[in-house]
Amino acid sequence: MIQRLLRQSLHGLGVLWGSVTLVFLIFSQVPDPARAIAGQNERVEAIESFRAIHGLDLPLGQRYLRFLGELSPLGRTFDGGWRLKWPGLGTSYFGERPVVESLVESLPATMLLACSAMGMALVLGIFIGLFLAWRGDGALAKGIIGLATLGMSAPSFFVAILVAWGLGVVWHDYTGLPATGGWRVLDPFEGPQVAWKHLILPTLTLGIRPLSVVIQLTRNAAADVLEESYVRTARAKGLGGWQLMRRHVARNAMNPVLTAASGWFASMLAGAVFVEYVFGWNGMGLLMFRALEQGDLPVVMGGVLVVATTFVVVNLVVDVLYGWLDPRVRLD
């Protein structure tokens, strides 16, 4: 298992390098951001100064090596030696703010939203999927699967607008939930507080699609496990009900669910743009959207690196969970 994790870690480093390199090369083909940021009427001296500060006057190869050097944990000292340093992500083109500060400020909001949405999808999806597998193909199962299929096909921006308008405006008197609101509010006595009420509607919206996927994957995987010989043997020995589902079916049906959940969680960090925009949830998705709109390459690169790192780490954790859930995939 240790050797497998080492191989996966090396593979993850390759994924990170490929991701940032691809985005860097794509942005190298866009028009000069210095002219767009400074404006058409700005003086030539100001534009050249901006390009020199951010290294835009260098050849493409030197800009790429400079970017990799900022990401590297090794740095050169004044006497020509080497030292350890914190990897840097540069500064934003707007306001000269360090990219790390922008990500640290916006990442907790997106992580909170993604974790709550994925947690809701896993808890409800696994429970409903196991229940449907146990009940068999009845009218109730077909109805729930039909709703799950509809939830998978519903685009996020449409669901976000529908949920915000329906539960946050039309039925606000019954739900008491606001249509918009950030993840933190300022209490006049206790200072900044997490606005848990503002989290409910974005979580519901962002979790609908992964919930639909988890329901169908759990139901199909559990139905296959119920046909295995060891399950029939357990039934013959008198084991049944939820004890059978928990001890012999649930763990052996979780591998496809974990695979889907790992991919969904990483995609939520970058794919929550519409949800964050509709609900006024100032997270990393909205930050990357504005950076793309403005051509702010350092912020985009930082966001891509965070998403890719999360994807790699989640996949490493899933590899460990595979061996814990299913002994058949354990390695000597």
Tell me, what CATH number does 195's domain have?
A: 1.10.3720.10
H or E stretch including 39? none
H or E stretch including 83? strand 82-84
Residue 81 counted as domain residue: no
Q: Which residue has the higher pLDDT, 41 or 26?
A: 26
Q: What is the pLDDT of residues 71-100, one digit of tens each?
A: 777 766 666 667 777 777 778 887 778 888
Q: Are 97 and 91 in contact (CB under 8 A)?
A: yes
Give the separation between CA 72 and CA 40, rounded to whole angstroms: 36
Residue 171 counted as domain residue: yes
Q: Are 281 and 113 in contact (CB under 8 A)?
A: yes
Residue 138 has pLDDT above 70, yes or no: yes
Residue 110 counted as domain residue: yes
Which candidate, 268, 266, 283, places its Cα nearest to that of 156?
Answer: 268
Q: What is the pLDDT of residues 169-202, one digit of tens each?
A: 888 888 888 888 777 777 777 767 777 888 888 9
Residue 303 counted as domain residue: yes
Number of domains in the chain: 1
Residue 97 counted as domain residue: no
Q: Among 19-23, 30-34, 231-235, 286-290, whose mean pLDDT is lowest?
A: 30-34
Which candidate, 302, 246, 326, places its Cα nearest to that of 90?
Answer: 302
Residue 223 belongs to domain spanning? 103-329
